[in-house]
Amino acid sequence: AQSVTQLGSHVSVSEGALVLLRCNYSSSVPPYLFWYVQYPNQGLQLLLKYTTGATLVKGINGFEAEFKKSETSFHLTKPSAHMSDAAEYFCAVSESGSNDYKLSFGAGTTVTVRA
């Protein structure tokens, strides 16, 4: 099974500052990669995903992520944090082959935005 590591369980940023959330995975075979956001008492909402093609992926709410095969990473960034970005963020990676519907999730990173 895939192993997904999110560096930092909590990140605090000032409003207007860069948001950088790190995600590394274990597979040597390029999987499908996802970032989800979870607001309190809600389900997960897709921010963006990488499936094929361009390695810089743009998502909703101004977020983007870059797939780096050589580093097995898929870090999430947003140039300028907004108060509404306070939430928990999960990186997810698919299995390879016929089980690619199965997602493995990182432990999550809680983002706090300071005014």
Partner 1 sequence: GAGVSQSPSNKVTEKGKDVELRCDPISGHTALYWYRQSLGQGLEFLIYFQGNSAPDKSGLPSDRFSAERTGGSVSTLTIQRTQQEDSAVYLCASSLAGRGADTQYFGPGTRLTVL
CA atoms within 13 A on the CB side of 52: 0
Give me the phi and psi of 84, to 5 degrees please: -70, -5
Check residue 64 for interaction with partner 1 (CB under 8 A). Answer: no
Given a contact cutoff of 8 angstroms between Cβ atoms, the answer to whether 105 and 92 are in contact is yes
Q: What is the largest CA-CA distance in the chain?
A: 46
Joined tokens for residue 64 = 């983007």
Check residue 43 for interaction with partner 1 (CB under 8 A). Answer: yes
Check residue 94 for interaction with partner 1 (CB under 8 A). Answer: yes
Indicate the residue among 45 and 80 with the shorter CB distance to partner 1.
45
Indicate the residue among 30 and 62 with the shorter CB distance to partner 1.
30
Residue numbers of the site for partner 1 (CB under 8 A)? 31-32, 34, 36, 41-46, 49, 51-52, 90, 92, 94-95, 99-108
